[in-house]
Amino acid sequence: MSPLDLLVAAPLAFMIAALLSGPWGRWWLLAAIPVMAGLTVWLLLLPEGSGHVVGGWTLPLGVQLRADGVAQLMVAATAVCAAIVGLYALHEFAPGADRSETAHGFAFWPLFYLLWGGANAGFLTTDLFNLYIALEMVSLAAVAMAAMGSLRAALRYFVIALVGSLAYLLGVALLFSNYATVDLTLLAEMARPDLATKTALAVMTAGLLIKAAVFPLHGWLPPAHAAAPAPASALLSAIVVKVGFVILLRLWFEAFPAIIAPAGLELLGWLGALAVLYGSVQAIRQDTLKALVAYSTVAQIGYLLLAFPLVATAAGTGGAWAGMTIHATAHMLAKAAMFLAAGLMLKAVNGHHLKDLHGLARAMPLTVAAFGLAAVSLMGLPPSAGFLAKFLLLEAAVEQGAVFAAAVLLVGGLLAAVYLFKPLAWAFAGSDTPVVVAKAPLRTAAPLALALLAVSLGFAGQAMVDITAGSPWAGPPATEAEDVQ
């Protein structure tokens, strides 16, 4: 047995259990959290680069799951996010009096576990076809969660995500015809810079850019993420977009670093820069809170792409690599916290607009504090994990003389401050204390815990840099992963 396949199998087992137990399905969470926490700790304790071939089928036929630095960090962050969001959702998705509430209560929990299992599979697998399955699992859960908020936004998301998946699948087919394997570690050894490989890489990248909502393919994200119920938005923004990003990393830096043209990296860097600027400006222009937070996701995803040329130029796992992966982790925690806090605030005032938050800081100090702490990490203020990530990226950019990237990093931070101060300014405005109806006040702890984690992880910076260093493409060429069955 290995924690690697259990990390995928356990959530799927909980999915079936939740599906079968109907109205009591939500209580499986209390079993899922300790199980997943144990498996995650086990994963973190595995030696670097441990692999596990599912079902004992050896490569190139088998499907390999592998615990490298990125996978460990992302799986752990996913577990933390999912556990806390799940606890928050226990109240939100309880079967209620109203018919649609009850339907949501039934539907959310199986989707929640499907999302969790799919994300873990996406982070751990090195098999491109299995990654396609993981992408589809995550997309299916994500679209269904988005449909809980707005059917139209979900339909738009569904259609565009389907095209992204098929583009990715076409690339997998091309690669298989060329190399007769779809395993990343084997592809890395055989990669040839021929037309088929480049075409495959191009269509797969396009598909993944859709999944990760990278500018200009981000159009589906703000309506879908803004309309969904708060716990669903938190999972969508924190976890779903990261799956596409991690697969992109695997392709560009693990399988085909040798044949990637600098122009391709530059292009991704530019897209990232435009995403940071466009997403931030759009976020500033929003007057509903959740749309603002959703556009902030578009902007924050931009940093991940902005880092691509920096990572490729930097030697080894130095600053840029660690900065990029830590940014992904920090964004996961901070954005989940922010959506949960936003959900609580909007529920309390029964509105959607920024002006509805008037004076809320006095009525809900802890929730507004959670929002503020998450904002600290998103803006990149010390000592948060977001600061550490942006600092590492900025250092790499300055070292490499990438003036433009450095400028975007700084301007992006300023713009983030502008759009995140807007809701905070409303919350602290006025002098009267609004009367709010807080349901299940214990839920305040969820966004607060996530936000505190996002901020305090900055102190564990060295540990995170060490974890991310355990990635096969960071150092010398990939070696055969050792089996730990």
Partner 1 sequence: MAIVEHLYPLTGAVLVGLGLYGFLTLRHPLRQLLAVNVVGAGIFLILGGLGRGADSTDPFPQALVITGIVVAVALTAFGAALILRVAEDERAPDGTAADDTNGNHP
Contact residues for partner 1, defined by CB under 8 A: 61, 129, 132-133, 136, 140, 143-144, 147, 149-156, 158-159, 162-163, 165-166, 169-170, 172-174, 176-177, 182, 223, 226-227, 288, 290-291, 352
CB of 12 vs partner 1, minimal distance in Å: 14
Q: Which is nearer to partner 1, 147 or 385 (CB)?
A: 147
Tell me the three state secondary structure of residue 476.
Answer: coil
CB of 137 vs partner 1, minimal distance in Å: 9
Q: Which is nearer to partner 1, 101 or 395 (CB)?
A: 101
Tell me the three state secondary structure of residue 330.
Answer: helix
Tokens of 281: 């400006």
C-alpha to C-alpha distance for 33 and 24, rounded to whole angstroms: 16
Q: Are the C-beta atoms of 18 and 26 separated by less than 8 Å?
A: yes
Q: Which is nearer to partner 1, 137 or 307 (CB)?
A: 137
Q: Which is nearer to partner 1, 97 or 315 (CB)?
A: 97
Q: Which is nearer to partner 1, 219 or 359 (CB)?
A: 219
C-alpha to C-alpha distance for 104 and 92, rounded to whole angstroms: 9
CB of 53 vs partner 1, minimal distance in Å: 15
C-alpha to C-alpha distance for 445 and 409, rounded to whole angstroms: 31
Burial group, residue 316, by CB count within 10 angstroms (0-12, 13-18, 19+): exposed
DSSP secondary-structure letter at 57?
P
CB of 370 vs partner 1, minimal distance in Å: 22
CB of 200 vs partner 1, minimal distance in Å: 12
Q: Which is nearer to partner 1, 6 or 172 (CB)?
A: 172
C-alpha to C-alpha distance for 402 and 400, rounded to whole angstroms: 5
CB of 182 vs partner 1, minimal distance in Å: 8
Tokens of 199: 């075409």
C-alpha to C-alpha distance for 4 and 123, rounded to whole angstroms: 10
C-alpha to C-alpha distance for 335 and 353, rounded to whole angstroms: 19
Q: Which is nearer to partner 1, 149 or 323 (CB)?
A: 149
CB of 140 vs partner 1, minimal distance in Å: 6
**CA angle at 269 for the pair 310 and 458, rounded to the nearest 5°:** 55
